[in-house]
Structure 1
């Protein structure tokens, strides 16, 4: 792990970004790298900040700093800059199809292509969201989750809360016994949550927010205007820009929710060694959207905007236990390789 920038250095870097002084930024990052600073994450952080603020940026000029993301990701950063500069995603499409590129980089290109296709700003007018819904598998969540829940109740008294038994009962009543059994047979709370949110939004609509989160400063405005569309976020501060389902908003019966639900159920019938994210979570959602690029009216918001305005996950103790799907899969030796393989095979069809 390298050094990080100090406060004054961060200010200088942000100033170069605000003024579009990319040659000076390039030289500055070079010097910082020579001094042992870990510079590879910085271009992505700067990009997320610009996207989140809606800043006017000469992205063609910003491509000058591509070398600082690390040699393995220079093609990805350059393709993202090209997509933002010229308004199409052909460079990202070429990278995603490049069988000589690393599998993860090909998937990352898919994620960025999905984001640029569905890139959106916060809604300014529209119908209100029906309700906020959340899930925690146990009927007695830890105190930090109970506190987070209260913060959502404060902004939306119509908030609905489901535990494992309640979610199964909801699915049985709305979709039948077979659907409820599919849910009940799942092996981890994270994948139960992934499936339940889709069933709920398909039936009733609203905004789903992970239980380990707090609302942002702009949530009132969002809930007042976002009820007619599908909204989610993307991890635009990282090379691996997946579409996130931790905050997912949609009206009842929206085609995207119905079709993605069918996709997830098909994955569960034929898991092929894939982990939870690839079966029903963000990786699955990203791959599905890429398969159906532009087919749905869906808005993806950049990461910094999501965190500042709508939804920020909390640091929760459970994330260090097997109740966190990452810990659960890591201890069982599960990797992303099967998910990458199946996703890239679908791209080739």
Structure 2
């Protein structure tokens, strides 16, 4: 477990970043999820919410022609959300959470204990045909099996300019601009893209005999909960319904 320290000493900005593609059509149930984070303003947080227009304006202000063109190629709101979170956290740092995450307790303070990037590990058990429980990911006594380990891109906490985000944004931009065909969300802008960037960066640090500048969050489920029973999950706003995943 991460030992708690004073979060005020961390250089990760107390900025919370969220995205919903159309601010005027924010569902009430999603709004309620986002409102659960409002109490962080009492802890000195700035809450920033982006929609498509604000995201496009932000990328135009902080980035160049390639990034603007790449964002324009993000056809689904989930892909635009993926791309925007990398842009904001790379430029300014902070904590990104999905709009359907609900804040539970005060465990978020552990995320701000130091300047290392924080991401959530996940594992898909191919043999069982489902995701492993977060507590089981760390177990060393499990029988051998086919498992896929990766990191989620929700949440992401990082200081500005983190090299993993830099690599992830470049990789996503290259893929978006380099293909004329179908672009799978997970691999192009989502968790697969972030995992590839993190793995490459970790290997570079190992070769250079340098310590890791990132951490895996062991207990995100105790910090926030994703709400699955939301209205938008039944229509095209849910990328899984559009892309058959």
- The TM-score normalised by the length of structure 1 is 0.55
Specify whether residues 266 and 178 from structure 1 end up closer, same or farther in structure 2 by C-alpha distance, changes over 3 A only. Answer: closer
Specify whether residues 265 and 181 from structure 1 end up closer, same or farther in structure 2 by C-alpha distance, changes over 3 A only. Answer: closer
Q: Whose Rg is larger?
A: 1
Task: Write 1 or 2 for the structure with the bigger share of helix.
Answer: 1
Alignment of 1:141-290 (within 5 A): 141-156=26-41, 157-222=45-110, 224-226=112-114, 228-236=115-123, 238=132, 239-271=147-179, 273-290=182-199
Alignment of 1:79-158 (within 5 A): 121=2, 124-125=5-6, 126-127=9-10, 129-130=12-13, 131-140=15-24, 141-156=26-41, 157-158=45-46
The alignment of Structure 1 onto Structure 2 pairs a total of residues equal to 208
Give the Cα–Cα distance (whole angstroms) in 2 for the partners of residues 174 and 252 of structure 1: 13
Task: Write 1 or 2 for the structure with the bigger share of strand.
Answer: 2
- The offset of 1:164, in angstroms, is 0.7
Specify whether residues 234 and 269 from structure 1 end up closer, same or farther in structure 2 by C-alpha distance, changes over 3 A only. Answer: same
- The offset of 1:182, in angstroms, is 2.4
Contact in 1 for aligned 2:164/2:201 (Cα 8 Å): no
Contact in 1 for aligned 2:69/2:177 (Cα 8 Å): no
CA shift digits 1:247-304 (9 cap, x unpaired): 00111111111111111111212346441001111122223333343435111123xx
Give the Cα–Cα distance (whole angstroms) in 1 for the partners of residues 199 and 64 of structure 2: 30
Task: Provide the alpha-carbon RMSD of the alignment.
Answer: 2.2
CA shift digits 1:11-55 (9 cap, x unpaired): xxxxxxxxxxxxxxxxxxxxxxxxxxxxxxxxxxxxxxxxxxx5x
Give the Cα–Cα distance (whole angstroms) in 2 for the partners of residues 301 and 231 of structure 1: 6
Specify every segment of 5 or more residues in structure 1 that has no aligned partner in the other structure, as ranges. 1-53, 55-120, 336-349
- The offset of 1:183, in angstroms, is 1.1
2:210 maps to 1:297: no
Alignment of 1:297-316 (within 5 A): 297-302=213-218, 305-309=219-223, 311-315=224-228, 316=230
Higher RCO structure (Cα 8 Å, ≥6 apart): 2
Specify whether residues 241 and 278 from structure 1 end up closer, same or farther in structure 2 by C-alpha distance, changes over 3 A only. Answer: same
Bigger drift between 143-152 and 289-298 goes to: 289-298
Specify whether residues 290 and 300 from structure 1 end up closer, same or farther in structure 2 by C-alpha distance, changes over 3 A only. Answer: same
Give the Cα–Cα distance (whole angstroms) in 2 for the partners of residues 287 and 178 of structure 1: 21
SS in 1 for 2:99: coil
- The offset of 1:308, in angstroms, is 0.7
